[in-house]
Amino acid sequence: MTYTPTNSDQSSWHATTILTVRKGDRVVIAGDGQVSLGQTIIKSNARKVRRLGRGDVIGGFAGATADAFTLFERLEAKLEQYPGQLQRAAVELAKDWRTDRYLRRLEAMMIVADAGTTLVLTGTGDVLEPERHVMGIGSGGNYALAAARALIDEPLDAETIARKAMAIAAEICVYTNTNFVVESLDA
């Protein structure tokens, strides 16, 4: 069976690679800056990674930008409601995301981290902790994930691993560029 792109596929927004690496005393989330519409690069320096709450949580998103910002705002509200409890805030957001009629339509994934926890949140209600302290999402996420897993046991710090893995993903995925935004926290 062959896949034939539909008009909606050709006009959908693409281009996100988000990677998290937790190693030693640091957790890092890195994201590329490319946003594409079909075969056209619309923007090369989008900021898909940012600090949340009081700056003690970092997050990155893959998916529709407006949807991701809505989810970031909702997560920040949950973090205010449950200060210092990222996992509880994330679970409460996932419940809302899955059950609220408006939120259910949002198309995005998020990676969030604080000093002790890294989580991936999806619209299907998943709140997942990554294996081996690395996770990638988005169009180049699997490439970055594979590269980070290959590098995790090397004598490199978390940020170096993230930058190298993102560079590898950018060489492979046409929807990923090398305009990286990297945020980190002490673990």
Q: CB within 8 A of 162, min separation 6: which ones? A: 19, 20, 21, 28, 29, 30, 148, 182
Q: What is the pLDDT of residues 44-94, one digit of tens each?
A: 998 999 999 899 999 999 887 777 788 889 899 999 999 999 999 999 998
| Domain extents in the chain | 18-175
- Burial label for 162, CB within 10 Å (0-12, 13-18, 19+), is buried
State pTM to two decimals.
0.89
Residues 135-169: tens digit of each pLDDT: 999 999 999 999 999 999 999 999 999 999 999 99
Predicted pLDDT at 12: 43
Q: Give, in words, the CATH class of 18-175.
A: alpha beta
**Residue 10 scores a pLDDT above 60:** no
pLDDT band at 122 (very low <50, low <70, confident <90, very high): confident
Per-chain mean pLDDT for the chain? 87
Give mean pLDDT, residues 15-20: 90
Instruction: Tell me the Cα Rg of the chain.
Output: 16
Element of type H or E holding 99: helix 86-99
* H or E stretch at 149: helix 141-151
- Share of residues in the chain with pLDDT > 90 (%): 65
Contacts of residue 180, defined as CB under 8 A and 6 or more positions apart, other chains included, come to: 30, 31, 32, 33, 163, 166
Catalytic residue check, 4: no
Q: Which of 2, 6, 16, 176 is catalytic?
A: 16
Of 15 and 99, the one with more pLDDT: 99
Above 70 in pLDDT, residue 27? yes
